[in-house]
Amino acid sequence: MKIVAINGSHRGTLGYTQYLLNLIEKGAKNGNADFETIVLAKKKINMCKGCRVCHSDKHYLECVYNDVDDVKAIFETMKTADILIYATPIYIFTISALLKIFLERITSTADSSIKTISDSGLFFHHITKEIASKPFLVITTQDNIEDETNINVARYFETFSKFMDAPLLGVINRKLGGLIKHGKDSNAENKYPIIKTVNNALINCGEQLAQNGYVNKVTLKETNLPLIKKPAIIELLLKFDLIRNNKKIMSKVFEKAKAEMP
């Protein structure tokens, strides 16, 4: 089993995204898998300019940037993987620009003139399955506590999965990453005992990917456990638009939530 992770964080190996990938890598290696992380921040990646040269007869499925940046080499590495991991912080409610720029380059590996239907019954076009159709896991990070922050990213990869015939193995969304100082705070587990549970779940996630090719539902749920759990009554009230839309009430909820944060 070979797992290839794509780290789309602008902070490269210094951010919370890489911290989570390191935990999954540990588990994957425990499960005897090969694990490779491609850090996009360390690569040269040009933006697709929509020139469509890659769709011409002379340069069929060959991007004009193939010889001047690192994308072709990354695609070749992706072809060797059994499982991919797309990992990104959430910036302005979506994936990082770095990851988006990279993913847009997949167009050079597809022939849009060949029309087809995806396995999920969607009209689409030819894709290079060795790149686009690998089973994949998604990891997102955010400092916000709101579930709403991650919705666009989760939906993006659900759509990606359907059109690319790529099985989506799950979405791990870690909130409030800034509070734990990306593993640099030696006292973090004492402040937030749940961190140990989550970290162990991430290690188990890597091991399950290596041994089974998927993550079981219990482990996936544990990887998404909140660092700070909202009181049950607040969770209930926030489900009603009448509460959410009342600024006075929400101000009180916000003050109560702040009081429970360190």
Averaged confidence pLDDT in the chain: 90
Q: What is the pLDDT of residues 130-175, one digit of tens each?
A: 999 999 999 999 988 888 899 999 999 999 999 999 999 999 999 9
Amino acid 105: pLDDT? 97
Mean pLDDT of 215-222: 97
Q: Is residue 199 over pLDDT 90? A: yes
Amino acid 262: pLDDT? 52
Q: What is the pLDDT of residues 91-122, one digit of tens each?
A: 999 999 999 999 999 999 999 889 999 998 99
Instruction: Tell me which residue of 68, 11, 63, 8 sits closest to 38, measured CA to CA.
Output: 8
Q: What is the pLDDT of residues 232-250, one digit of tens each?
A: 666 666 666 766 677 776 6
Highest mean pLDDT, choosing among 34-43, 53-62, 219-228, 229-238: 34-43
Amino acid 176: pLDDT? 82
According to DSSP, the β-strands at 83-89 and 136-141 are parallel
Q: Is residue 12 over pLDDT 90? A: yes
DSSP letters along the chain, please? -EEEEEE--TTGGGSHHHHHHHHHHHHHHHTT-EEEEEEGGGS--PPP----GGGSSTTTT--TTTTTSSHHHHHHHHHT-SEEEEEEE-BTTB--HHHHHHHHGGGGG--TTSEEE-TTS-EEE---HHHH-S-EEEEEE-S---GGGGHHHHHHHHHHHHHHT--EEEEEEE--GGGGGGGT-TTHHHH-THHHHHHHHHHHHHHHHHHHSS--HHHHHHHT--SSPPPHHHHHHTTSHHHHT-HHHHHHHHHHHHHH--
Residue scoring higher pLDDT (208 or 195)? 208
Is residue 21 within 8 Å of residue 85, measured between CB atoms? yes
For the chain, what is the largest distance between any 2 Cα atoms, rounded to a whole number of angstroms? 64
Amino acid 184: pLDDT? 72
